[in-house]
Structures are given as structure tokens and as C-alpha cells.
Amino acid sequence: MDAPVPRPNRPVPRHGSRDQWFEREGHAERVLSVLRSGTPDQRELAANTVAAFEVVGAEPPLIACLEYPSHTVREACARALGRCGGGEAVEALINAGVAQRIAIASVRDALSALPEAATDAIAAATRHDEGIVRALATRELGNRRGHENALIGVLGDPDTPVRVQAVIALATRGSRISDLARQSLLARTDDPEPSVRAALCRALGALGTEGGERLRTLARDGDEWVARSAEVALTSPVATSRRALSSH
């Protein structure tokens, strides 16, 4: 009979972290054992426990469980990988999402929870064959440091949702973007898709005088959504103050 997932039967001592106590008491290895060979209910509870205590060494069994027959187990392991995973978890999560073993929303949430050490692997995913994966990776890069060139590269992606996410990601970084990124954004004002041009309006509002000039052009865009987005960006307090500063 499989051993039950260990549950603490006494308070965590005040000295040391909770995670250190969990490891010292030997619970971590028992939880990992259950994750590898327990029943579906036990594995789901083990995955949740692994996430709560951020158990060291949990990444390989969690990745393996992304192919487990139970959907609830796979979803629990995806959530746990967001807490305990690293670079290897990125590809595993993406593959599970593409194969529909876990929800795409679960991939998104797990990528968002991964540590900075996983950022290189997320940047690499902007070159994935699947457009939905490139869009997810691009969206997440906007919340992280570095890899600006990867974002600039996907501004020209063939899939519209990816280009939209690239614009939003660079806009999220605001004044921290380079001159190359600024020029790359300005070059997208003639994008054939209205959704990309509308997203650009938010980014251009942070680019000072030059951005304001492009926004005035977009305010006359033939698409009502784009024109309205440009008008809103032109009158926003942030855009107004940036144009005032750049004119001095």
C-alpha cells in the first residue's frame, strides 16, 4: 500500500525556515516518492505539498507527471512547476500545453510564476513553431528583465497576436527600452492589422515628441478603434508630460 502524503503533526519550530524544517524531518523525500508512485489523489496532494514547501529536486517528477493519465494531477503538477521549476520546466509546460494535456491558461500562469533563472528558456520560446506559444512567451518577457532583442524580433512575427503581445511587452517596459526598440515600435505604425496599431498607441504615448507625431497620424486612421486609441493616448497625463519633457 502506498504511503500517505506526510502531514506535519506538530508546529513548525521558530528557528529556520519552514522549507528547511520540511527537508530536515524527511518529509520531502516521502512526498517525492508519493509523487512518483502514488494513486491519483495522492499524487495531486503531493504536487500541492511540493508547491507549498518548494521542495528541492521536485522538478523531474513533476515534469514526468505532466504525462500522467489524470487531468487533475497534470494541472496540479503544472502549478507546482511554477513554484519549483526552472529552465527545463518551460519546455515541458509548453509541450504539455500544445498537446492539450494541460490548459494553455495553466501554461501561462506557470510561466509567470517561474523564477528569473527560467527567463532564457522563455525567450527561446518566442521562436517556437506554434503561434500561441510565441505569444505566451512574448507576453511573459514583458514582465521580466533583459532579452529586448527577442521582443524586437517578434514585432515582425507573421501571427497578429504575437505582434500585439510584443508591442504590449515593450510598452510595459516604458522608458527602459533602447533607441533600437523605440525605432522598431515606430516602424510598426503601418502594420496591416488594426489590433497591432491600436496596441501601438499605448506604447507611443510613452515615447515623447516623436511618439506624439505618430499618434496624431494614427488619430486619423481609417479604423475607428485605432483612431480612438490614438486620441486616448494623446490626452493621457503620462503622454502629455513626456512630450513636454522631450520638447525641452
Residue (of 205, 212, 155) closest to 175 by Cα position: 205
C-alpha–C-alpha distance, residues 21 and 136, integer Å: 36
Residue type, 43: R
Rounded mean pLDDT of the chain?
A: 86
Is 0.75 topped by the overall pTM?
A: yes
- What integer pLDDT is reported at residue 194 of this predicted model? 96
- pLDDT by residue (tens digit) across 131-170? 999 999 999 999 998 899 999 999 999 999 999 999 999 9
In sequence order, what DSSP letters do the residues of 169-194 get, joined into one string?
Answer: HHHHHGGGS-HHHHHHHHGGGG-S-H
**Residue 218 near residue 197, CB atoms below 8 Å:** yes
Task: Kindly state the helix (H) or strand (E) to which residue 141 belongs, with its residue range.
Answer: helix 131-141
**Residue 21 near residue 13, CB atoms below 8 Å:** yes
- pLDDT by residue (tens digit) across 92-114? 999 999 999 999 999 999 999 99
Residue 128, burial from CB neighbour count under 10 angstroms (0-12, 13-18, 19+)? middle
- pLDDT by residue (tens digit) across 50-71? 998 888 899 999 999 999 999 9
pLDDT at 122 over 70: yes
- What integer pLDDT is reported at residue 244 of this predicted model? 44
Instruction: Tell which CATH classification among 1.25.10.10, 3.40.140.10, 3.40.640.10, 3.40.50.300 matches the domain 130-248.
Output: 1.25.10.10
Q: Domain ranges in the chain?
A: 1-7+16-114, 130-248
Would 1-7+16-114 and 130-248 be classified into the same CATH topology? yes
Residue 223, burial from CB neighbour count under 10 angstroms (0-12, 13-18, 19+)? middle
**Residue 66 near residue 54, CB atoms below 8 Å:** no
CATH architecture of the domain formed by 1-7+16-114 = Alpha Horseshoe (1.25)
The arithmetic mean of pLDDT across residues 108-128, rounded, is 95
- pLDDT by residue (tens digit) across 75-94? 999 999 999 999 999 999 99
